Amino acid sequence: MVHDSASQVADAFIATVREQVTGADPQADLLALGHAFVGQRTQFPEHFAMMQQIMAEVQHFPASVIDTWQQAGPLRVQHEVARRLEQLTEAGLLHIEDPALGTLHFIALVSSEISVRPYGSPPLSPARMRDCVTRAVDTFLHGYGTARGTK
């Protein structure tokens, strides 16, 4: 069940990214990546609720269950983000010396305002989520953009 749920979330993320990321405009591509990343939580609330429960009780689950979840979902999503950031870097639109670190920074930035909220907070509105992702992308471009590739 964990594997199937995580695979479904990752498959949807990858399909969205394939449709929306062109490789031509770093700001537009990063916004699409960011919206796809944070959109998973609203698109698949049951999956994320289940994972929140599992992580709260992680010591009671075999390591193989956690590894299965990681391989089926989060690592696939992370790999797709890294692949897209590398494409933008190879095109000269971003300057990322360490793709793994750049990927972690991007994911942390786009998810920080959304995931660090008081317990029991109502879901963010679509407009608020857009604002959070836009701020994250602007910050990422400030650190990883090039003169040619930034706004």
Here the tokens at position 115 are 């995931």
Asked whether the predicted pLDDT for residue 56 surpasses 80, the reply is yes
72/2 Cα distance (integer angstroms): 9
Q: Model confidence at 119, in pLDDT bands (50, 70, 90)?
A: low
Q: Specify whether the CB–CB gap between 44 and 6 falls below 8 A.
A: no
Q: Model confidence at 151, in pLDDT bands (50, 70, 90)?
A: very low
Specify which of 27-31, 39-43, 146-150 reaches the highest per-range mean pLDDT. 27-31
Mean pLDDT, residues 90-116 taken together? 92
Mean pLDDT, residues 92-105 taken together? 95
Asked whether the predicted pLDDT for residue 97 surpasses 90, the reply is yes
Q: Specify whether the CB–CB gap between 69 and 3 falls below 8 A.
A: yes
Identify which of 53, 11, 28 has the alpha carbon closest to the alpha carbon of residue 137.
28
Q: At what angle do helices 26-43 and 126-144 cross, to 10 degrees?
A: 140
Between residues 151 and 26, the one the model is more confident about: 26
Mean pLDDT, residues 33-61 taken together? 90
Asked whether the predicted pLDDT for residue 114 surpasses 70, the reply is yes
Mean pLDDT, residues 129-135 taken together? 94
Mean pLDDT, residues 94-113 taken together? 95
Confidence (pLDDT) at 106: 98
Confidence (pLDDT) at 74: 95
Mean pLDDT, residues 100-106 taken together? 97
